[in-house]
Amino acid sequence: MSTIKNILLQFDTDPAASSFDAVVAMDSGVDTLLQYPGVRSENLTGLVHGAMFTRSLSKLRHTAIFVGGSNIEVAEQIYQQVLASFFGPIRVSVVMDANGCNTTSVAAVESGFSGLWTLGDMVHDETKPIRALVMGGTGPVGQRIATLLLDRGCHVVLHSRSVEKAGAVADRLRLGSQNAQIESLTKTGAELNLELPRFDLVFNAGAAGVQTLDEQAMAVLTQSRGVIVDLNAVPPAGIAGIAAHDHAKPMGQRLVYGALAVGGIKMKLHRAVIHACFRANDREFNLREIAALSTNLLTTEPGAC
Ligand SMILES: NC(=O)c1ccc[n+]([C@@H]2O[C@H](COP(=O)([O-])OP(=O)(O)OC[C@H]3O[C@@H](n4cnc5c(N)ncnc54)[C@H](OP(=O)(O)O)[C@@H]3O)[C@@H](O)[C@H]2O)c1
């Protein structure tokens, strides 16, 4: 009896398709990976139709599309265009995880809540929402972390170097979430340090290789309860004193998670999403769908603020 192969079409917006995404695909049960670098709006429809019209409806679940590339905004547009190219039941499952932006954000938020659960601080009190600070909150990962935190009812503060940039992102996220409590912060140094103790969750989603919180900030932060998650794996540490492999490591009153510890969860999630694509022909995995998948997959307790 012949078995039908699971084929993943890797649509990448960069001139060379991501080797990272390719390796993860092959580790996720993909039999054949077809890479399409330099995917643009103009050449997309034909590629999608090629995926749609080559297998019978009952076999379409064995074909899926992964949208990647280093320019996350362009990849997001490509993802939306792929979805718009389908009609009726003739479709294949699609994942959007350009530069790991969605799986990383979900893994970061899962780590943060897992830490709060471990500390015993997951108290549901609508009058006192969990307060979260997102350093580098205007970047693609920071914005997605903020979106997930708002979805869980947190009070979110986005940190940025620019008042205008942070304000614009906060305004946009406020529109996308019901009853969103979001504000922005541009303080630095001693002024910023005074603010830190009020945050239950602190995420660093600042640029790779940039330290957003130094030793003085950590000395203040670790005197109050909560969780700190650093996503920067490129030295120096994004938050002073957090090592990339730290996983729920106690530091003063806080638990800390480093970039590679979060990366382990991200990898598990990335593989699970690819697996899930081949279970049906109509799955759509963007940020919130990946977050929904993670609550069933990861062993942490699902949290609400
Ligand atoms: N572990 C993983 O699997 C994984 C996967 C993907 C990403 N990451 C990490 O997640 C983090 C966020 O990724 P991203 O792509 O969202 O980052 P990004 O867009 O490069 O930067 C995020 C924000 O950092 C601020 N920033 C940029 N350059 C800076 C500088 N020189 N000094 C101070 N601030 C600066 C900017 O905010 P303002 O201009 O508003 O200040 C920017 O919006 C990175 O550290 C990345 O390496 C980890």
Same domain, 95 and 120: no
Structural Rg of the chain based on CA atoms: 20
Q: Which residues contact 28 (CB under 8 A, 6 or more apart)?
A: 270, 271, 274, 275
Of 131-145, 171-185, 249-263, the least confident = 171-185
Same domain? For 132 and 154 the reply is yes
For residue 302, tell me if it sits in a domain.
Answer: no
Distance separating alpha carbons of residues 98 and 13, to the nearest angstrom: 9
Tell which one of 148, 161, 188 to mutate to probe ligand 1, the residue whose CB is within 8 A of the most ligand atoms: 161
Is the confidence at residue 148, as pLDDT, over 80? yes
Cis amide bond preceding 236, omega within 30: yes
The helix or strand, by DSSP H or E, that contains position 284, with its residue range, turns out to be strand 284-285
How many structural domains are present in the chain? 2
In tens, the pLDDT along 197-255 reads: 999 999 999 999 999 999 999 999 999 999 999 999 999 999 999 999 999 999 999 99
Residue 127 bridge partners (DSSP): none
Pair (89, 184) in one structural domain: no
Q: Reduced to 3 states, what is the DSSP secondary structure of residue 223? A: coil
| CATH number of the domain to which 18 belongs | 3.40.50.10280
95 and 111 both lie in a single domain? no
pLDDT tens sequence across 13-37:
999 999 999 999 999 999 999 999 9
pLDDT at 3: 87
Q: Indicate if the pLDDT at residue 303 is higher than 70.
A: no
CB of 259 within 6 A of ligand 1: the answer is yes
Cβ(200)–Cβ(225) below 8 Å? yes
pLDDT at 2 (0 to 100): 58
Burial of 37 (0-12, 13-18, 19+ CB in 10 A): middle
- 160 and 51 share one domain: no
Domain residues for 147? Answer: 103-263
pLDDT at 177: 78
Task: State the average pLDDT for the chain.
Answer: 93
- Residue 44 CA to residue 79 CA, distance in Å, equals 10
Q: Provide the residue type at 272 as one letter.
A: A
Same domain, 85 and 166: no
pLDDT tens sequence across 107-127: 999 999 999 999 986 655 666
- Residues 199, 288, single domain; the answer is no
- SS3 state at 250: strand
Regarding the beta carbon of 300 and ligand 1, being less than 6 Å apart is answered no
Bridge-based pairing state of the strands 155-159 and 226-230: unpaired
Q: State the pLDDT at residue 125.
A: 61
pLDDT of residue 305: 34
Amino acid 300: pLDDT: 44
* pLDDT at 178 exceeding the cut of 90: no
pLDDT in tens, 60-75: 999 999 999 999 999 9
110 occurs within a structural domain: yes
Q: What is the CATH number of the domain that holds 156?
A: 3.40.50.720
Among 104, 245, 265, 271, say which to mutate for ligand 1: greatest number of ligand atoms within 8 Å of CB: 104
Band (pLDDT 50/70/90 cuts) for residue 298 is low
304 lies in some domain: no
- The pLDDT assigned to 301 comes to 40
For ligand 1, the distance from its centroid to the CA atom of residue 126, given in whole angstroms, is 31
Same domain for 78 and 63: yes
